Chain A
Amino acid sequence: MKIMNCPLNGPRNISEFVYGGEVKTMPNSLTCSDKEWADYVFYSDNTIRVITEWWYHSASGYWFIAERHTASDEIFKTYDPSELFNERIEFESKPEPVEEKSA
């Protein structure tokens, strides 16, 4: 079986991992247009080269980042997300409290 090197657990069978999609910058959902949001959610370059992607080691519940070639399937690097994301992401959404309406 293909082996992936988990930054937390070391080399493991690829079947222990779940693919989590390309690493993309999330637009601000409160201010972006519908088109920008659709682009983030559905569209992708889906091209042939080394891609930076999210992976998840399901046995230990650990998310990390891998750099993998989308044609040769070669995995060049795997590392902890803290190498890319070193600032806390604030979600600005403040849902309005739902008012109870009497019938």
Chain B
Amino acid sequence: MPFSLLKYGLKNDYPFENDVDLPSPTELKKHYDVVIIGGGGHGVATAYYLAKYHGITNVAILEKGYLGGGNTARNTAVIRSNYLTSEGVKFYKESVDMFKGLSNEFDFNIMYSSRGQLTLAHTDSTIRSFRQRTEVNTHFGGKTELIDPQQIKELVPTLNMNPADMPVLAGLWHIDGATARHDAVAWGYAKGATQRGVELHQLTEVTDVIVENGKATGVKTNRGTVSCGCIVQAVAGHSSIVAAMAGIKMPITTYPLQAMVTQPVKPFLDPLVSSSALHCYVQQTGRGEIVFGGGSDPYPLYNTRSTLDLKESLLASAVEMFPFMANLKLMRQWAGITDMTSDYSPIMGLSPVENYYLDAGWGTWGFKSTPICGKSMAELVASGGKVPELIAPFAMDRFDEFRQVNEMGATAASH
């Protein structure tokens, strides 16, 4: 390695000249076997696995903006599987396992960093729910422990053990907790998919879905109409809007979710730390910046504006947890619009329209599921609508049958 690096250093030309990431744009074809609406992580991952595992390559990903420019590039990149329900834990655990191998698979560094995630309990009832999550997680092969204040102090010496006069009583220590570079995940999948023949069309907005006799047969876009064998919708915040084009009403409400980041400082914080009562999570990136995230905005809105209110409330909590951060300067604040379900679980699978598949309801927690969701959606499409067992509990009609998968407690504060 050092030798090849030296050779590269002495060379006059750039050795990767012809190794472009994505092919240049082409005209839209008249017909595709599969049209994927939305070029976020989920859309490109679905295309990648369709091509890789099922040999289906006559696929177009239609993205109204640019690759990964939606919530994929806006999230705080928390990857974890310490949810509450067995349906949820089983699903997210697979995703965490897949993430570990992605850099090798793509031959492209997604900067997967397994640093552990610590959630703080300030009440007895939270400890009880943490105990349950530890058991469920361990049962499905995840690494999660309940730890005491002494162990917390050793893990995070800079943490205030009595933030906002709410003593830290215990912690849910999720050893598998990790982060990855979100853009790299989208690019890795897009590169792998397009190399196998999938077309990625950016600046291509779906404006209508053509449904004939209850079957989806094509889409209208700002660049013309295309017909297709089937459609996968993966548009996150715009789920209700795009589904309505196919005549589908969804159990989703769209809320903004904001996050912010400070100037870089020396490394001091290895694990991701979140407090269940303060609705705040804090993590330090590889560049040294500190990322803050918290709960959604208090009312529904399709808007990515940032607010001073959220800055004030979120940072008040962050400074309670790490008082010395009061002196840091904030560098950026941003928002994404998130498709929230009332049980805090996603919607994957069939829809009331034939050949129209849904990948939605990812709200504030869908980055971590990108690999397993893409793989499962590809399986669903390739089999012509046979729902894989792993995602069956997340069908949209669970709401009609009143069998929600309640993940609210395990999702609300830390996504």
Residues of A within 8 A of B (CB): 1-2, 14-15, 18-19, 34-35, 38-39, 42-48, 70-73
Contacts and interface: CB of A to CB of B under 8 A. Distances in A.
Contacts of B254: 46, 70
A10 B240 CA distance: 34
B167 interface: no
Interface size class of B (residues with CB under 8 A): 20 to 34
A44 B298 contact: no
5 nearest interchain CB pairs?
A19-B299, A46-B240, A42-B251, A71-B302, A42-B399
A34 B400 contact: yes
Interface string B64-94: 0000000000000000000000000000000
5 contacts: A38-B251, A44-B249, A45-B240, A46-B253, A48-B302
A48 B241 contact: yes
B402 interface: yes
Given A38-B399, A43-B399, A45-B249, A19 B244 contact: no
A92 B338 CA distance: 38
A45 B300 CA distance: 12
Given A46-B250, A46-B300, 19 more contacts: A2-B309, A19-B299, A19-B300, A34-B401, A38-B251, A38-B399, A38-B402, A42-B399, A43-B399, A44-B252, A46-B240, A46-B252, A70-B300, A70-B301, A71-B301, A71-B303, A72-B303, A73-B301, A73-B303
Q: Interface majority SS on A: helix, strand, loop or mixed?
A: loop
B251 A43 contact: yes
A45 B249 CA distance: 6
B5 interface: no
Contacts of B302: 48, 70-71
Interface string B389-408: 00000000001111000000
Contacts of A14: 309
B1 interface: no
Contacts of B342: 42
A45 B244 contact: yes
The interface residues of chain B, by DSSP majority, are classed as: loop
**Most chain A Cβ neighbours within 10 Å, of B299, B301, B399, B400:** B299
Most buried by A among B244, B249, B305: B249
Contacts of B305: 73
Nearest to A15: B309
Nearest to A72: B303
Interface of B: 240-241, 244, 249-254, 298-303, 305, 307-309, 342, 399-402
Contacts of B244: 45, 47
Contact of B400 (A35, A48, A70, A71): A35
B279 to A, nearest CB: 15
Contacts of A47: 240-241, 244
A39 B308 CA distance: 35
A39 B253 CA distance: 13
B241 A1 contact: no
The winner among A2, A42, A47 for most chain B CB atoms within 10 A is A42
A71 B303 CA distance: 5
B314 to A, nearest CB: 14
* Residue of A2, A15, A44 ringed by the most chain B CB atoms within 10 A: A44
Nearest to A46: B240
B301 A44 contact: no
A72 B241 CA distance: 16
A63 to B, nearest CB: 15
A31 to B, nearest CB: 18
Interface centre among A39, A45, A46 (most CB of B within 10 A): A46
Nearest to A1: B309
A1 to B, nearest CB: 6
A88 B250 CA distance: 31
A17 to B, nearest CB: 8
Contacts of B402: 34, 38
A72 B301 CA distance: 8
A18 B299 CA distance: 8
A19 B251 contact: no
Contacts of A70: 254, 300-302
A23 B299 CA distance: 14
B253 to A, nearest CB: 5
A101 B274 CA distance: 49
A39 B401 CA distance: 11
A1 B307 CA distance: 8
A30 B253 CA distance: 27
B244 to A, nearest CB: 7
Contacts of B253: 44, 46
A13 B184 CA distance: 41
A19 B252 CA distance: 16
